[in-house]
Amino acid sequence: MSLSPDFSRPQLVAVPSVCHLCGAPATAGVTTVLHPSGGPPRHLALCMPCDSGRPGRGRTDLGPADDLWWVLTRDAEALRGAFASGEWVPYPSELAFAEALALAAWSEDAIRAAQRAAPRGRLALLLDNLALVLRFTPGHDPAFTPVRRLVDVLANAARDDW
Q: Which among 92, 104, 87, 108 has a CA at the least distance from the CA of 154?
A: 92
The contacts of residue 134 (CB under 8 Å, 6+ apart) are 106, 107, 108, 111
As separate numbers, helices (DSSP H) first and strands (DSSP E) second, the chain gives: 6, 2
Shortest Cβ 6–Zn ion spacing (Å): 28
Shortest Cβ 100–Zn ion spacing (Å): 31
Distance CA 14, CA 42 (A): 10
Asked if 19 is part of the footprint of Zn ion (rule: CB under 5 A), the reply reads yes
The binding track of 48-87 with respect to Zn ion, each residue x by CB under 5 A or -, is --x-------------------------------------
Distance CA 42, CA 36 (A): 8
Asked if 15 is part of the footprint of Zn ion (rule: CB under 5 A), the reply reads no
Asked if 21 is part of the footprint of Zn ion (rule: CB under 5 A), the reply reads yes
| Strands annotated E in 1-154 | 31-34, 42-45
Tell me which stretch binds Zn ion (CB under 5 A): 19-27, 98-106, 127-135, 150-158. Answer: 19-27
C-beta of 21 vs 127, nearer to Zn ion: 21
C-beta of 48 vs 110, nearer to Zn ion: 48
Q: Which among 107, 98, 80, 82 has a CA at the least distance from the CA of 161?
A: 98
Tell me which stretch binds Zn ion (CB under 5 A): 6-14, 43-51, 109-117, 136-144. Answer: 43-51
Which residues of this chain interact with Zn ion, rule CB under 5 A? 19, 21-22, 47, 50
